[in-house]
Structure 1
Amino acid sequence: MLETPRVEEGGHVGPVNSALVPRYSGESTYALLPRLRDIETEDRSADIKVVGVPFDSGVSYRPGARFGSNHVRQSSRLLRPYNPATDTSPFAQTQVVDAGDMAINPFNINEAIEAIEQDALDLTEDGSSLMTIGGDHTIALPLLRAASARAKDPVALLHFDAHLDTWDTYFGADYTHGTPFRRAVEEGILDTEGICHVGTRGPLYGKKDLEDDRRFGFGIVTSSDVFRQGVDEIIDKLRDRVGKRPLYISVDIDVLDPAHAPGTGTPEAGGLTSRELLEIIRGLRGLNIVGADLVEVSPAYDHAEITGIAASHVAYDLITLMADLRANAASGK
């Protein structure tokens, strides 16, 4: 088998060198990064692992997010190593790899949740961080459990989504893509002084939805707030709310308007633009991010890869934040 030339910088193995290999050829890893198995040696380990969770048994409307992980990978082929928005090269700052997909039972939600939590704990046992690509939003609960266990404390949460996802049940089921953050509050794994929804909008079942949400401790930044107040003011509010707490970021791609992300299961009109979402994420630089996920990409509804491309860039900027944090910690900044 021919050896694949890669960009190597800062002592780290980076993406396939696209000046020598066409971007459309070869296996599809996230951003053409090396696989975990290819870099794990006695003297090298991964700092950030991109892992897929192809699971959508918790959806309440359109299915298909089980195919989201590989769709985002395919859509990420055009990403490049240098991020001018932050003047950093995340793949040179830290060793970032594609760790493949978790093998999750699609027929048993309880078993799936347990497996995701255990896999997340196993993957982070070496001190690495996860950038998880789903999958539906059910997966956020076990990922939060693992993040809280690693942090040894409840974690702050910024939840980017059109929906609250703090409902109690669907059809009597406790674990669905609409319930993860209610369960997380009930389990005590969220620091309720530092949790906030961003980008919510659209009709609810009743005013009680908002009353319950406030009771759980969530702040709410609606998509209208972003439009009227502006990105910079929203960033300041989010940074103040999170402070120095260990922070988990969960992004449902339906936080974007359907014009920017049609390929999702529960679209709502009036959402953020891709530009607004990316700028808000970049504004979180320096916060103590302990993990992130990106969910609800459903490729069957994604004409022209619009959603996949947006999702791949969101994941790229989240990885950039985590890489920058690790690099600064290593240098004592």
Structure 2
Amino acid sequence: MTDSFFQPPPAADLPRFAGVPTFMRLPHVPPGHPRFADVDVGLIGVPWDSGTTNRPGARHGPRQLRDASTMMRAQNGATGIRPFEALNCADLGDVPPNPVDLHDSMARITAFYAEALKTDIMPLTAGGDHLSALPILRAVAEKRPVGLIQFDSHTDLTDSYFGGQKYTHGTPFRRAIEEGLIDPRRMVQIGIRGTMYDTEDRDFAAANGIRLIPVEEFHARGPFDVMREAREIVGTAPTYITYDIDFVDPAYAPGTGTPEVGGPSSHQALEVVRALSGLNIVGADMVEVSPPFDASGGTALLGATILFELLCVMAAGQA
């Protein structure tokens, strides 16, 4: 049983719509807090979307995900896992971004995560656009490259945009491989689909040994067979999980910057996360929730539920 300090308040004592919102109603334990070193998993907001090339708004994602996450209860109904009893979990707050300087923001993100990693806190991130993953990986993979399981409708392996811009939400994993943060032979991208400018990103994937699973293959094989292969690819070595909400069909998750039709259902969106249980996960993120395009709040609720499922597989890995 974990420290009672890290338990969310019972809903019978504090209604879910009341109180200052934190991720899953967990205590707010920012860097410098006296209990910071006691945290096992830290939920971190990255309210930043300066890498966005289409519809903006993911900078507002962490705040909306916090609100939606108040619906998460103590036990996973499908797996029985009770993450708040297995691990000391806390909301570490938001990285303070610089909205007018992309590189300064990335440096701030890396520094925030490096501070958490000093005390062996496992980071679970709510973004923010997908470029956020690059500065996070600079901290998480500082000592050795990691494997990567990416749920996404886009590869994010493009070399550049707009006359040579190397840092957008369409380039983070190309940069991460170039920087030696990811072992491309232990990398798998699941759900890729949509129209393309050309095949440059897929050619890069093939040349570097990245396993790319298009959504057509995902639907033909089913989530369990696809995840069996993904587990084999990353093996038992340290692995980072990155989850773009546009992996899910926009019928279920319309509130995102670059939606692509033909994707998985909300149920399949949860199934693939549950299939991660037992892997050597060193961090995870849920990105690209854009509240301005999420009129019903359903995208944020799905994103918060995915965060809870990620937390549950992290807890299972520490059992």
1:55-86 CA distances to partner (integer Å, 9 max, x unpaired)?
01110000000000010111111110111322
Distance 1:42 1:145, change over 3 A: closer
Tell me the residue number matched to 1:135. Answer: 128
- Say if 2:119 is the partner of 1:126: yes
State the distance in 2 between where 1:200 and 1:252 align: 11
Residues of 2 paired with 1:292 and 1:166: CA distance?
Answer: 19
After TM superposition, the structure 1 = structure 2 runs for residues 221-300 of structure 1, keeping only pairs within 5 Å, are: 221-300=213-292
Show CA shifts across 1:27-55 (max 9, x none).
11111111115995469711000010100
* 1:92 correspondence with 2:92: no
Tell me the distance in 1 between the aligned counterparts of 2:308 and 2:35.
Answer: 27
8 A Cα contact 2:56 2:290, kept in partner:
yes
- Per-residue deviation, residues 181-203 of structure 1 (Å, max 9, x unmatched): 00011111111221011111001
CA distance in structure 2 between the partners assigned to 1:189 and 1:216 by the alignment: 14
**Distance change >3 Å, CA 38–CA 89, structure 1 → 2:** farther
Secondary structure (helix, strand or coil) at the match of 2:314 reads: helix
Total equivalences in the alignment? 317
Amino acid paired to 1:293: D
What corresponds to 1:116 in structure 2? 109
Q: CA deviation at 1:10?
A: 3.6
Is 1:157 aligned to residue 161 of structure 2?
Answer: no
1:302 to 294, 302, 305: 294
Name segments (4+ residues, structure 1) moved above 2 Å: 9-13, 37-44
Residues 292-331 of structure 1: matches in 2 within 5 Å? 292-326=284-318, 328=319
Give the whole-Å Cα distance in 1 for the aligned partners of 2:314 and 2:129.
Answer: 23
User: How far apart are 1:130 and its partner, in Å?
Assistant: 0.4
TM-score by length of 1: 0.92
202, 205, 210: which one aligns with 2:202: 210
1:39 & 1:54 partners in 2: Cα distance?
Answer: 20
Structure 1 stretch displaced more, 32-41 or 294-303: 32-41
Instruction: Name the CA distance, whole Å, in 1 between partners of 2:88 and 2:245.
Output: 26
Residue 59 of structure 1 aligns to a residue in which SS?
Answer: coil
Letter in 2 for 1:29: T
C-alpha distance in structure 2 between counterparts of 1:107 and 1:169, whole Å: 20
* 1:64–1:37 distance in 2 versus 1, CA, 3 Å: closer
Q: What do you get for the CA RMSD once the two structures are aligned?
A: 1.6
Amino acid aligned to 1:234: V
**Deviation of the 1:221 alpha carbon:** 1.5
Taking only the aligned residue pairs, the percentage that are identical comes to: 39
Of 76-85 and 282-291, deviating more is 76-85
- Distance change >3 Å, CA 199–CA 97, structure 1 → 2: same
Gaps in structure 2 of 5+ consecutive residues: none
Contact persistence 2:158–2:200 (CA under 8 A): no
Q: Contact between 1:249 and 1:292, CA under 8 Å: does it hold in 2? A: yes
Q: What is the rounded CA distance, in whole Å, between the counterparts of 2:148 and 2:212 in structure 1?
A: 12
Q: Which of 20, 37, 50 is the aligned partner of 1:57?
A: 50
Structure 1 residue runs of 5 or longer lacking an equivalent are 1-8, 329-333
What amino acid maps onto 2:183 in structure 1? D
CA distance in 1, matches of 2:295, 2:30: 33
Q: 2:69 aligns with which of 42, 58, 76?
A: 76
Relative distance call for 1:40 and 1:47 in structure 2 (3 A) is farther
1:106 equivalenced with 2:99 (yes/no): yes
C-alpha distance in structure 2 between counterparts of 1:228 and 1:245, whole Å: 29
- Taking the aligned partners of 2:87 and 2:32, their CA distance within structure 1 comes to 13
**Cα distance in 2 for residues equivalent to 1:174 and 1:318:** 30
In 1, Cα distance between the equivalents of 2:250 and 2:207? 30
Counterpart-to-counterpart distance in 2, 1:101 and 1:231? 33
Distance in 2 (alpha carbons) for counterparts of 1:55 and 1:44: 26
In structure 2, distance between residues paired with 1:225 and 1:164: 15
- Determine the C-alpha separation between the residues in 2 that align with 1:272 and 1:312: 17
